[in-house]
Amino acid sequence: MSEGTTSRLKQNMFRLIIITIAGAMIYGLPYFRSYYYDSYVHVYHLTNTQMGLFGSLFGIFGAVSYLFGGVVADMISPRKLMSVSLVLTGVGGLLHMMHPNYAMLVGIYILWGFSSLFAFWPSLLKALRQMANPDEQSKAYGFMDGGRGIVNAITLAATLAIFNHFSKVASELAGLNGVILFYSVFDIAVGVLLFVVMKDEQEEEHTERIKVSEMLKVFKIPAVWILSLTLCCTYSMNILFYYFTPYASNVLGVAATGAAMVTMLAQYIRPIASFTGGIAGDKARRRSTILYITFSAMGVATLCLALAGNMSVPVFVALLVVIYFAMYAGYSLVFSMLPEGGVPESSAATAIGLVCTIGYLPEVVAPFVAGKVLDKMGDSGYKPLFIGLACMMFIGIVSLVIWDRYIRRLKKENN
């Protein structure tokens, strides 16, 4: 940021805090099952494949919603879209407490796929982009993602205490219901708060509805497709790292609470990693440089998990620290690279929606495939699962090579 330039990020700090809390809390319900994997399977009498199906259903509806949600987010204010999404997600949690059977659970995850993804993420990211100057983009995304990590770390500690208390005095079902109620009430409350304190600034700035011709222009921007592939690779880790919990309990023999902490550890590392990645991304000559490092670290560490024989718990945790730090240091940088790729701000949410539709496809495929592999191969299935995950990290490096070549060509054309 040049001298004398006012920091838009500092001016919008209160709004940033509000959307950060919203961005963290809305995903507590769709993903809490992963932290209590074994208990969830036991209480609701599920197989690994059925557990994977919940994630895939969530991802399918999310993939469809991202694309259309991005278009809607270019037409309607984030205040309305995010508020409605939060309240509906909380309502889904209350339905989850009504002793659901498998069919009802499927319906609830479909609801969450719609409510927590449709327009929520694209509108949040568009609002975030408008809160910062061009040279503050990585910092804005990094601070938001790091803030989500802080919120998650606090709420996960609270939910773990709730789960442990009610599981001991009553049952595992009571423990899970306590967690569900906590997230449901919080989501609804944050949805109402966001609606009250946020302003409809985007409706004032962009009242004209986006045209089909503008959508087609976004589809023709190569940067959108390259970043979609990059996000697809890095998000594979965001989805499959939850399987470190059953790996810890079933293979390494860690107790249920300790196994839950294995994946919760990611949220404690997330703030430091996201802040570091965001600051480094803005200071680096090329943001892709940071991603080369993060993809390499995740790929090597995951290969070590897959190929190691008898592994001690301290070594296992050390590898996870490397993976988690790299995962969150690089994740938010993908979205901050859109301006560099020539994506206009007026179509930012549409572009983000397309990137998310393709980039979040691992959420559709990965959980179901992982569940199938584990049901068929048992504990030996973790090795091919982790090897496949490492391969995705190295494909991510290839996508960055393509990105750098495209940016060099784009700069030559603009000179």
How many other C-beta atoms are found inside a 10 Å radius of the C-beta of residue 268?
Answer: 18
**Three-state SS letters, 142-171:** HHHHHHHHHHHHHHHHHHHHHHHHHHHHCC
Would the pTM count as exceeding 0.85? no
User: Domains in the chain, ordered, with CATH?
Assistant: 9-198+213-414 (1.20.1250.20)
pLDDT for the residue numbered 219: 83
Provide long-range contacts, Cβ within 8 A and 24+ apart, for 370-377.
370/48, 370/52, 370/240, 370/243, 371/47, 371/48, 371/49, 371/50, 371/51, 371/52, 371/53, 372/48, 372/49, 372/52, 374/48, 374/243, 374/246, 375/47, 375/48, 375/49
For residue 186, give every residue at least 6 positions away whose Cβ sits within 8 Å of its Cβ, in sequence order, or none.
25, 28, 90, 155
Q: What is the pLDDT of residue 201?
A: 57
pLDDT of residue 338: 82
Q: Can you give the pLDDT at residue 205?
A: 44
- ∠ CA 233-234-238, nearest 5°, is 120
Residue 39 buriedness (CB in 10 A; 0-12 / 13-18 / 19+): buried
User: pLDDT averaged over consecutive 10-residue blocks of the chain (415 residues)?
Assistant: 63 86 93 89 92 85 70 77 92 94 92 80 76 75 83 91 92 94 96 84 45 72 92 93 90 83 88 85 82 96 89 92 94 81 75 83 89 93 95 96 92 79
Query: Which one, of 325, 356, 312, 308, lies nearest residue 241 by Cα?
Result: 325
pLDDT of residue 44: 94
